[in-house]
Structure 1
Amino acid sequence: MRLLLAALAVFALLYMLKSDLTEGTIQLAAFASDEPACHEVDKPVSIVVTTVPGDTIESLFALYPDPAIVFLDRLTLFYQLNPHLQLQDILGGEQIEIPLSNETVTICSKE
């Protein structure tokens, strides 16, 4: 009987160790940080819009104004976000990014 109870205790201990190692309780440990890692990105704040036939850069800037940026700086940011538009016209139905300000974006993610 003692041998049977000892075997059950060993199997229970092995099962607990296996489940602890496979499911992991490291993220529940006291030394794990709950704060997300944040870093700044040089990508300007922008919105994604879907164009219609006949849209131009000027018409998009007029629809989504930003008085904080002068036109040439905004145009430079526009071509940074959409480099394919340097060699082609804006097509209808295309999704493009329009810059809204000069601020840097802070991206936070849990690691």
Structure 2
Amino acid sequence: MSVKVRFDRDSIVQAVQVSGSGTPDGFVLRLQEVDLLGTPAEEVIRFLSGLDVLRMDEFCFRVVAPRLGIVLSRSVVPENEDDEDGRYFTAVLAAKQGAIDLEP
């Protein structure tokens, strides 16, 4: 797991990015009851779509919840139901509104 923090000129936190293994046995990062890195990406997308209007790239490598200020990403997506690669998001960025570009 790695954590990156972005500060403004006054040393106030603007964004925090947590990157994990993308598997359920990695670091636990919850929003309400959902582990964003340990829950299959499709379930996370369904959960977040009930809280925000999501923006996604064509293949869902990157999913943005703009009102929540959350960006989830993964480097690959599963090719089929049995493919474990890309089944989970591997990074979550949470940012103060306006601190970063929240486009997919």
Same fold (TM over 0.5): no
Which protein has the larger Cα radius of gyration, Structure 1 or Structure 2?
1
Q: Which has the higher contact order (CA 8 A, sep 6+)?
A: 1
- Higher strand share goes to which structure? 2
